[in-house]
Amino acid sequence: MTILILGAGQLARMMSLAGAPLNLNVVAYDVGSEQIVHPLTGQVFETTLAQAIVDADAITAEFEHIPDDVLTQCCASNKFYPGKAAIKTGGDRALEKALLSKTGVQCAPYQLITEKAHLEQAVATLGKPLVIKTCQAGYDGKGQWRLKSDDQIEQIWSEMADFIASGTPQAPHSIIAEQMIPFDREVSIIGVRDKRGNTAIYPLTENQHTNGVLTLSVAGKEKSAIQQQAEDAFNKLASELDYVGVLAIEFFDVDGQLLVNEIAPRVHNSGHWTQQGAHCSQFENHMRAVAGLPLGCTELQRVTAMINVLGQSAIPDQVLSVPSVTSHWYGKTAKPGRKMGHINVSANNLHELGERLAKLTEYLPEDKYPGVLAASTALILN
């Protein structure tokens, strides 16, 4: 069976690695070069996208921002999973908010903005401070503003107006202003749904972000009440979208109440821990779902932390001296802030996980791997 992935980055790479033992042949469409490539070797095939669509038994995606003509062409084959509506929703916060409202899944109060009067209305009705995000083309903290005082309105509106003006009638640009909610922490749920509507959901993951980019995730800390809230949200959203594949939902935890921050219709950075912490990783489960295979077990096998490697030219070899540490390298050219790889570390309990994270800080300096030391201390004292 052949699976075509739209996108040829590290997520396609890890899906390909997970698909090989399942006898799934994986090729990827590099949206930038418009070429069909092998996601592991980078080999370029002479195949056109049209021919790759014909040759594929199923088509999926590693990211949301797919050109509309490519997405339409793939969806016309009736082989594309998770579906056009899911991809469009994941790439447009206005559609995302509409989905949350329709399904009754809670999020922060918000105001859609397409003109200056809407921004002024948001300030008046939602109050300050505001978190302002582009509805399209924003990720990893990009395309965002923080409005804390009235004297910022003119400058922020000037920048927002440029973004809105860059849209077209076929692809208009808009912006969302959200009430800034003081939250206790950020968490996410990773789940998978197959073609028959069966679901399997991983344990909730606690996440740490630095400058809008995920730096650390820990799985294995959650209590059943919080887990159930997240699973209820997953089931509502996946059912409404008639979703097939892995779906990630990021939440703010506010005194035990979960509010959706973002939805990602794909395998997700905060689910990388599943490669070592669960029997069946998110990558394998996504491939199983789109290929029509039975879903794998999502139960936690061992408490696990994932550390992102951002902008570094290599992962220090010494990390492999720490027990139950696995290094994942993406083979990309290093750039500041770029996701270059990740490190998974597992343990039998949270205290032991904290000790192993503490040991890793000997090789992972705080300025390059923020939050690892603080996380280790919190787990040891847990």
DSSP 203: P
Are 209 and 172 in a shared domain? no
Are 231 and 159 in a shared domain? no
Residue 87 inside a domain? The answer is no
The pLDDT value given to residue 143: 79
pTM over 0.75: yes
The pLDDT value given to residue 229: 96
CA-CA distances (angstroms) from residue 353 to 271, 303, 361? 17, 7, 13
Q: What CATH number is associated with residue 136? A: 3.30.1490.20
What is the Cα Rg of the chain in Å?
21
Residue 92 inside a domain? The answer is no
Binned average pLDDT, 10 residues per bin, the chain of 382 residues? 98 98 98 96 96 98 94 96 95 94 95 92 93 79 84 91 86 90 96 98 97 94 88 98 98 96 97 98 98 98 98 97 98 95 98 98 97 95 83
The pLDDT value given to residue 141: 54
Q: Go through 206-241 and write b for each residue having 16 or more CB atoms within 10 A of its CB, e for each that does not.
A: bbbbeeebbbbbbbbbbeeebbebbbebbbbbbebb
The pLDDT value given to residue 310: 97
Are 346 and 229 in a shared domain? yes
Q: How many domains does the chain have?
A: 3
Are 192 and 171 in a shared domain? no
Q: What CATH number is associated with residue 61? A: 3.40.50.20
The domain in which residue 38 lies consists of 2-80
The pLDDT value given to residue 138: 60
